[in-house]
């Protein structure tokens, strides 16, 4: 019994040596833990509700139209693509770049809510010319194939 009281005293940080006081402090400690657990459960329920609301709002956002923009940049051409996600759009776009003899210097791709890509491309060799219109058409066809 003495060992158990010592364990209770240690858990509750009790200074008392009386058995009745140690047990009362242990019960109070358990009650406080129960209150903390209930507060954490309420907070979790609130966070889950906020997440559900956020996801439902995100589903209501309009998806971007298929959009391909190609413009001249310092080092080559800046290609921006936004469209709905799904399929192998990135692979198709990379295949188009390869077929046209384009090398990607820098690229960023995202597919959280929709597919978005931004890349800086240059011609692989001097004989390949960079034509904004032809690149735009080829990338547009690539994303429409999906």
- Residue by residue, pLDDT tens for the chain (146 residues) are 778 878 888 888 777 778 888 888 888 899 999 999 999 999 999 999 999 999 888 778 776 678 899 998 888 889 999 988 777 888 989 998 888 888 899 999 988 878 899 999 988 776 556 688 888 998 989 888 76
Beta strands in 7-141 (DSSP E): 67-72, 77-83, 102-110, 115-123
DSSP code for 3: H
The number of C-alpha atoms within 13 Å of 29 and in the hemisphere containing its C-beta is 13
Q: Residue 138 corresponds to which tokens in the numbers above?
A: 């080829």
Instruction: Give the predicted TM-score (pTM) of the model.
Output: 0.55
Work out the widest C-alpha separation in the chain, in whole angstroms.
94
């Amino acid at each position: 019994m003495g060992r158990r009281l010592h364990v209770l005293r240690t858990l509750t940080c009790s200074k008392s040596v009386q058995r009745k006081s140690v047990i009362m402090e242990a019960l109070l400690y358990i009650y406080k833990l129960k209150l903390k657990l209930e507060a954490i459960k309420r907070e979790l329920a609130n966070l889950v509700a906020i997440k559900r609301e956020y996801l439902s709002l995100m589903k209501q956002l309009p998806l971007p139209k298929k959009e391909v923009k190609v413009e001249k940049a310092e080092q080559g051409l800046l290609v921006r693509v936004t469209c709905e996600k799904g399929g192998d759009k990135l692979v198709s776009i990379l295949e188009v770049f390869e077929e046209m003899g384009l090398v990607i210097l820098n690229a960023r791709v995202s597919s959280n809510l929709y597919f978005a890509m931004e890349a800086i491309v240059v011609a692989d060799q001097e004989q390949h010319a960079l034509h904004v219109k032809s690149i735009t058409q080829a990338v547009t066809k690539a994303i429409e194939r999906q």
